[in-house]
Amino acid sequence: MIRLKGVDFHYGGENGSGDGVDGIDLTIADGECVVLCGRSGCGKTTLTRLINGLIPHFYEGELIGDVMIDDYNVSKGELSETSRRVGSVFQNPKSQFFNIDTSGELVFGCENLGLSHEEIGKRVERTVTDLKLRPLMDRNIFELSGGQKQRIAFARAILKDAPIIILDEATAFVDAENERKMRRAIEQITNGKTVIVIAHKLSSIKNADKILLLDHGRIAAEGTHEALTASCGKYRKLWAISEETQSWTLKEAGR
């Protein structure tokens, strides 16, 4: 179970904006699929950084309260320990690669787990097949398109087989055909895991166990799609904008 109680974080240091999240009370049960939504800048990515330990390890600022995964304290633990528990695919895939070639990057994702060579080979092979990544193997990562990079980042996160997966607009740059494939793969591979998703296309996340609507760094509303649609004007508005953007995208693509 993931648990945050009264958590505040504000970006500090030289480039600190003073923005962040406030008074976050949240529990996510094992195996739940939770969606974070809200306007740009409302704190979605910041909340995921608290759960994957990048805050406070990579981002300077003031943190109040603890982020717990069962009885493990993410905020105080080592990043490598957290990384066994949480796999993440970020919004901006450019900033998350450690290797130049795609195959090396996938192997790298498993190396810190202490697996045998043989086991790593098997896992990589299985994931490459499942995600249909064969044509992208042994390529220079930095010459791939944004969507292809995101597929590699997704594969690397999956390979770790961590019980918690964070997808921060993980399909934002992927084309429609690959997005469908990736979504199917996400459904299969994340089955039984705890999944935290940030997505702009709200229609894709209707079936989540729980949707959290963030507003100015706070959780403004929480519930299923049906409950929020019935009770929350802000959520209905966000949904309407998402639908509008999507129909616009489809029209543009059809020209």
Ligand X SMILES: Nc1ncnc2c1ncn2[C@@H]1O[C@H](COP(=O)(O)OP(=O)(O)O)[C@@H](O)[C@H]1O
- Which of 2, 35, 37, 45 binds Mg ion (CB under 5 A)? It is 45
The tokens of 37 are what?
């939504």
Kindly state whether residue 178 participates in binding Mg ion, applying the rule CB under 5 A.
no
In whole angstroms, what is the distance from residue 167 CA to residue 151 CA?
12
Given Mg ion, ligand X, none, residue 20, with its beta carbon under 5 to 8 Å by kind, binds ligand X
Shortest Cβ distance from residue 44 to Mg ion (Å)?
5
Binders of ligand X among 50-89, rule CB under 6 A?
A: 59
User: Which does residue 93 touch among Mg ion, ligand X, none (CB within 5 to 8 A, set by kind)?
Assistant: none
Q: Is 131 left (phi over 0), alpha (psi -120 to 50) or beta?
A: alpha
Nearest to 119 by CA among 163, 164, 160: 160
Task: Give the relative orientation of helices 146-159 and 117-130 as an angle to the nearest 10 degrees.
Answer: 130
CA 8/CA 146 separation, integer angstroms: 32
Name the residue with tokens 């300077």: 60
For the bound state, the minimum distance from the C-beta of residue 187 to ligand X, rounded and expressed in Å, comes to 23
Of these partners, ligand X, Mg ion, none, which one is at the site of residue 95 (CB under 5 to 8 Å by kind)?
A: none
Query: Among the candidate windows 37-45, 100-108, 151-159, 225-233, which touches ligand X by CB under 6 A?
Result: 37-45
Q: Which of 144, 172 has the CB closer to ligand X?
A: 172
Report the greatest alpha carbon distance in the chain: 54
- How many residues contact ligand X, by CB under 6 A? 15
- Answer for which of 33, 34, 44, 205 binds ligand X (CB under 6 A) is 44
Is residue 19 a contact point for ligand X (CB under 6 A)?
Answer: yes
Q: Which of 1, 6, 17, 145 binds ligand X (CB under 6 A)?
A: 17
Contact 243, 249 (CB under 8 A): no
The site partner of 19 among ligand X, Mg ion, none (C-beta below 5 to 8 Å per kind) is ligand X
Q: Which helix (H) or strand (E) holds 154?
A: helix 146-159
CA distance from start to end of the chain? 47
- Give 3-state DSSP helix, strand, coil % of the chain, rounded to 5: 45, 25, 30
Question: Which range, of 42-50, 98-106, 111-119, 233-241, touches Mg ion by CB under 5 A?
Answer: 42-50
- Give yes or no for residue 40 binding ligand X (CB under 6 A): yes
Q: Which stretch binds ligand X (CB under 6 A): 13-21, 106-114, 146-154, 220-228?
A: 13-21
Residue type, 67: V
| Residues contributing to the site for ligand X (CB under 6 A) | 11, 15-17, 19-20, 38, 40-46, 59
Kindly list the residues in this chain that would bind Mg ion in the complex (CB under 5 A): 44-45
